[in-house]
Amino acid sequence: MAKNIVQKIFEAHKVHGDTAPGSPIGLHVDQVYTQDATGTMAWLEFEAIGIDRVKVPLAVSYVDHNMLQSNFMNADDHQFLQTAAAKFGAYFSKPGNGICHQVHLERFAAPGKIALGTDSHTPTGGGMGMIAIGVGGLEAATVMAGAPLEITMPKVVQVKLKGKLQRPWVTAMDVILTLLKMLTVKGGVGKIMEYGGPGVKGLNVTERATITNMGAELGATTSIFPSDKKTLAFLRAEGREQEWVELAADKGAEYAEVIVLDLSAVEPMIAQPHSPDNVVPIREVAGKRVNQVCIGSCTNSSYQAMRAVASILKGHTVPEWVNLLINPGSKQVYQMLAQKGLTADMIASGARILEASCGPCIGMGAAPGTGHISIRSYNRNFLGRSGTKDASVYLTNPIACAAMAVKGEIVDPRDAGLSLDKIKDPEKFLVNDNLIIPPKADTKDIRVLKGPNIKEVPVKEPLRNSIEAEVLLKLGDNITTDDIMPAGSKVLPFRSNIPAISEFVFENIDKTFSGRAQAAKPQGGGIVIGGENYGQGSSREHAAIAPMYLGLQAVIAKSFARIHRANLINFGVLPLLFKSGGDYARIEQGDRLAIRNILETIKGDQNFRIDNLTKGYTFEAASGLNDRERELLLKGGLLPHTKNG
Ligand code: MIC
Ligand code: SF4
C-alpha cells in the first residue's frame, strides 16, 4: 500500500496500536529534549519516577528561556538541570549555546527519527524530516523512563507546495503566515501537516524549519517535510551527513485532506495583535510608526536569515524612535556572524545584540513601552506575552523586520528601497560543540543540586466520585496557556516552585483568581469554563499543575488544544466537552455545579449529566477519554500511574 511519510515513520516506531486516524498508538521515541522553563519540572518528575538513567537513545537538556539572572533562582535551576543531566545520562546544553529548537536542528535532529520536546515548538525538527512533537514535562519524563509515547493518531494533511517564492523579499515565514491566515490557530488541531509537492525542493532545511516551527500556531500535532538533497546538504554542512536517509511519500499515498499553496503567489505578510492568525499582507497596514523591532527566536534565526538582516542594516542607522534587538538562535549562528564581521554591521546600525536565547519572545526582558508597537520575527503575539499588556505586537519575516527597523514604520520590504545581498547556503557551518556537555559514564558520585526555590512536584489524589464545585471563571475561545499561567521575567523563575507560581494563575485575566480558587478549595474546589481550543500555545504543564494545586477539579470547554488536554489528564484534572453550545452560553461564573457518579461514568459511556445547582437545570458533557486516559485519571494522573504501575 502506498504510504505517506508520517505513516512510514510511525510504522517503523510502532509499539502498539495502529495508524488509523483517531486510534490510540504507542510509539518508540529516539530523542527527548527539555528546555529549562519546562525542564526543571520534567527532571523533577523523572527523579520522582525513580529510574537511574534515561532509557531513550538521546536526551538533551537545554537552557535557553530563563536566562535573566536577577537573583539566585534561575541560576540554581541551571545548576539543578546540569547536575540532573549528569546524573541521569543526558547531554547538557549550557546557557549561551542557544535556543533548544535551533541547536537541536543543527546538532541532533535526523530524518526518520521521532523526537519529543517539552516545548510546543519542537516541530521545528520537522524541517529535517523528523517527527518532532511538543509534550508536557511529565510525558517526556515517562518516555525518558522507558515508556512509549502514547498518542491518538492524528489525521495526516498534505500541504502541497507549488511554484517558487518571490525571493529575496518573500520568505518561509510568509508561507506559514499565509497558512495561518487560511487555517487559523485551530486549523491544525488533531492533524499532522505533511509538506509535499514540487515547491518543497526550493526551500532549504532552515526555511522548512521556520514553517514547521510555526505549524505549532496552527494547533497541529506536528509538521514534517520530506528528507531530500537539501536535507543532505544541511547535514553535510553540519558534519553529520552519515545521519541522512531519504524520505518521501509513495506515489498515490493517501491524505485526510490536501491543501494546495502556490509559493509564487505568497506575499510579505504580517500577523497583527493579538493572535498569530490575524494575518494580512504587510501593505495593508503599512505606514504605522514602530517603536521596537526584535529579530531572532526559534522561528527565524538561521545563519542565512541573520545574514540577510545584517546586509539590510549595513550602512544604515535605525531612527531615533526605534529600538532594535537581535537574539540569534544559537552560538553557531552567533559565532559565524561574528567571524564574518556581520555583528559589526548590526551593532553599527544601532542594534542591541542579545544573547542566543528566547529573550523578548517570552518576556525575558525587552518589554515594549506603554502603547508601543513592537515588530517581531517571532511566532506568538498573545496579549501581554511581551510583558506589556497594552503594547501591540506584530509578527513578520526577519527581512521585513530589518526593513521596518531602518524605516521606523511598517513597510512592505519590496517598497522600502533597500538592498539585500544574495545569500547562498553555507557549505560548512562552524561546528563547535564546546558548550554541549556529553552524558557521563560514571554517575555514582554525582549529586543532583537543588536550590531553595526548587520544590517537589505536587500530586493529586485519585479521582473523586463526585465533584461539587464553583465555576471560578468563564472564558471565551482560544484561551492560551500564557493566559492560564503567564510567563515573563517576574513569573518564570517560579517554574520549579508550584506553590509560588500558582499565585499567578490567570493573573492577566483576573487578578483575584488565585485567591478565589484557594478560598473555594475547602468547599469542593473549582471548575473553569472554556470555549473552543482551550489551552492553545505553550506546552507548559504549569498551566495544569498550578490550577490543580489551587483545587481545580474539571475544565468544561467546547474543545481543547492537544498538549494542554494531555497535561490536564496527566495531573488528574477532568477535561469535559460541552455537548451543546447553548449549555456553554447558559453557565455563569459563580454557579455551583455537581458532577456525580464520576467513576462509573468514566468507566462507562463517558456521558456526564451535570447539575447546575445555582440555576436548577441539568446539562450534558462528555469526557471522550481513551482507555489509557481513563486509567490515568482514575489514579490521579500520570505520575502516580507510572510510579505505582
Ligand atoms: C513559548 O514559546 O511559549 C515557550 C515559552 O517556549 C513554551 C514553553 C514554556 O512555557 O516554557 C512553549 O512553547 O511550549
Ligand atoms: Fe523560546 Fe520563543 Fe521559541 Fe518559545 S517560541 S522556544 S520562548 S524563542
Q: Are residues 203 and 291 in the same domain?
A: no
Q: State the Cα–Cα distance between residues 620 and 442, nearest whole angstrom.
A: 56
Is 372 annotated as catalytic? no
Q: Are residues 260 and 286 in the same domain?
A: no
3-class state of residue 94 by DSSP:
coil
Q: State the Cα–Cα distance between residues 515 and 512, nearest whole angstrom.
A: 6
Q: Are residues 277 and 224 in the same domain?
A: no
Number of independent structural domains in the chain: 3
Q: State the Cα–Cα distance between residues 77 and 455, nearest whole angstrom.
A: 11
Q: Are residues 238 and 273 in the same domain?
A: no
Look at residue 454 in the predicted model and tell me its pLDDT.
98
Q: Is residue 428 part of a domain?
A: no
φ/ψ of 224, rounded to 5, equals -145, 145
User: Which amino acid, 225?
Assistant: F
Q: Are residues 173 and 303 in the same domain?
A: no
| Among the bound ligands, the one closest to the CA of 541 | 1
Q: Is the CB of 362 under 6 A from ligand 2?
A: yes
Give the residue numbers spanning the domain of 388: 269-415
Q: State the Cα–Cα distance between residues 635 and 638, nearest whole angstrom.
A: 8
Q: How many CB atoms lie within 10 A of CB 254?
A: 14
Q: Are residues 137 and 282 in the same domain?
A: no
Strands (E), 446-501: 467-474
What's the 166 CA to ligand 1 centre distance in angstroms? 32
Q: Is residue 421 part of a domain?
A: no
Q: Is residue 457 part of a domain?
A: no
Q: Are residues 378 and 479 in the same domain?
A: no
Last residue of some domain: 380, 395, 415?
A: 415
Look at residue 482 in the predicted model and tell me its pLDDT.
98
Quick one: which H or E segment has residue 332?
A: helix 331-339
Q: State the Cα–Cα distance between residues 243 and 194, nearest whole angstrom.
A: 21
φ/ψ of 81, rounded to 5, equals -65, -40
Q: Say which DSSP state 19 is in.
A: -
Look at residue 645 in the predicted model and tell me its pLDDT.
63
Last residue of some domain: 220, 243, 265?
A: 265
Give the residue whose CA is nearest to atom 4 of ligand 1: 538
Identify the CATH number of the domain in which residue 31 sits: 3.30.499.10
Q: Are residues 393 and 540 in the same domain?
A: no
Q: Is the CB of 173 under 6 A from ligand 2?
A: no
Quick one: which H or E segment has residue 583?
A: helix 581-586
Q: State the Cα–Cα distance between residues 343 and 103, nearest whole angstrom.
A: 19
Q: 77: which 3 cell numbers?
A: 535551576
Q: Are residues 276 and 376 in the same domain?
A: yes
pTM: 0.98
The per-residue b/e assignment along 346-360, b for 16 or more CB within 10 angstroms, e otherwise, is beebbbebbbbbbbb
| Among the bound ligands, the one closest to the CA of 361 | 2
Q: Is residue 180 part of a domain?
A: yes
What's the 387 CA to ligand 2 centre distance in angstroms? 14
Q: Is residue 454 part of a domain?
A: no
Q: Is residue 157 part of a domain?
A: yes
User: Can you state the percent helix, strand and coil of the chain, rounding each to 5?
Assistant: 35, 20, 45
Contact 479/384 with Cβ under 8 angstroms?
Answer: no
Q: Are residues 331 and 288 in the same domain?
A: yes
Q: Is residue 434 part of a domain?
A: no
Q: State the Cα–Cα distance between residues 288 and 411, nearest whole angstrom.
A: 8
Last residue of some domain: 214, 249, 265?
A: 265
| Among the bound ligands, the one closest to the CA of 99 | 2
Look at residue 461 in the predicted model and tell me its pLDDT.
86
Look at residue 134 in the predicted model and tell me its pLDDT.
98
Quick one: which H or E segment has residue 58?
A: strand 58-62
Q: Are residues 521 and 553 in the same domain?
A: yes
Q: Are residues 65 and 12 in the same domain?
A: yes
Give the residue whose CA is nearest to atom 2 of ligand 2: 361
Identify the CATH number of the domain in which residue 566 sits: 3.20.19.10
Look at residue 52 in the predicted model and tell me its pLDDT.
96
Q: Is the CB of 362 under 6 A from ligand 1?
A: yes
Contact 335/444 with Cβ under 8 angstroms?
Answer: no
Contact 546/457 with Cβ under 8 angstroms?
Answer: no
**Which residues of the chain carry a pLDDT beneath 50?**
none
What's the 574 CA to ligand 1 centre distance in angstroms? 23
Q: Is residue 507 part of a domain?
A: yes
